[in-house]
Amino acid sequence: MMTNRYNEYDDFAWAYNKMLGTESMQRFLPVVEQLVLSHCKEGASVLDLCCGTGQLARELNKRGYRVTGIDGSEAMLSYARENAPDVEFIADDARTFCQEPKCRAAISAYDSLNHVMSIGELGQVFRNVHASLVDGGCFQMDLNMEEGYKARWRGPTHVIDGDYAVLFGHCYDEKTKIGTVPLTVFRLFDGQWTRSDATLTQRCYTREEITTSLKAAGFVSVETYDAEKDLKLPGGIGRMFFLSRKG
């Protein structure tokens, strides 16, 4: 039985679905198409790890792929099942999930794996992904690198709309390599304003740490792409894409 499931996003799920899920999918889908889908035939099995509220899984399903989405937040998955009713979604932790080797590709998008707070646990995630892939399968993920934390995690920001407001406090500690995001969500619901609070954390890893850990997990090749310089991704400063293959 799974224990210690990552569920810090539960209190943020509504706001994430409302303002970030679709926007993030639209920004990142061209990269997924370029690096992964160009090598996957229609009908192939694809794992969407840390799938959030399911917008990416929905688009992959529309393109004819058989998608399995895994996320640690039950609240996020409740929206994912509404957004993509034809996709199989499983509540599980990236550090402990176990899938049979059936997937032609695995994707973990939107710096989701920066939320894994030690290189040892991240290595276990990579081993789990490796075990879920067929021979020759590929794994794409993106991570915030230190350049990105220094550029973007520089104090409070906010989003305000007619029926909600979200306050973010981004802070990055260069000594510990940890980023912290305290956030508060105000939501107008049935004529009443409600408030929820959460604190999210991320760890900054180096390219060398990630490459070494991926190869230790069994991946035979690791390619890296700078989001801004190599992939021309708007606002991609300090984001790195890793594309790994199982032998």
Q: Is residue 2 over pLDDT 50?
A: no
The tens digit of pLDDT for each residue in 171-217 reads 999 999 999 999 999 999 899 999 989 899 999 999 999 999 999 99
Q: Do 45 and 139 sit in the same domain of this protein?
A: yes
Q: Is residue 115 over pLDDT 90?
A: yes
Residue 4 in any domain: the answer is no
Q: Do 131 and 39 sit in the same domain of this protein?
A: yes
Q: Which residue has the higher pLDDT, 118 or 6?
A: 118
> What b-and-e string marks burial along 156-188, b requiring 16 or more CB atoms within 10 Å of the CB?
eeeeeeeebbbebebebeeeeeebebebbbebe
Residue 10: its pLDDT value, please?
84
Which pLDDT band, with edges at 50, 70 and 90, does 234 fall under? confident
The rounded mean pLDDT for the chain is 94
Q: Do 110 and 157 sit in the same domain of this protein?
A: no
- Percent of the chain exceeding pLDDT 70 equals 97
* Structural domain for 169, as ranges: 148-202
Number of domains in the chain: 2
Q: 86: domain CATH number?
A: 3.40.50.150
Q: Do 195 and 216 sit in the same domain of this protein?
A: no
Q: Please state at what angle helix 21-35 crosses helix 55-62, rounded to 10 degrees.
A: 50
Q: Do 161 and 211 sit in the same domain of this protein?
A: no
Q: Do 111 and 225 sit in the same domain of this protein?
A: yes
Q: Do 25 and 91 sit in the same domain of this protein?
A: yes
Q: Do 210 and 132 sit in the same domain of this protein?
A: yes
Q: The pTM is what?
A: 0.94
Q: Do 128 and 173 sit in the same domain of this protein?
A: no
Q: Is residue 1 over pLDDT 60?
A: no
Q: 160: domain CATH number?
A: 2.20.25.110
**Structure tokens of 2?**
């799974």
Q: Do 109 and 78 sit in the same domain of this protein?
A: yes
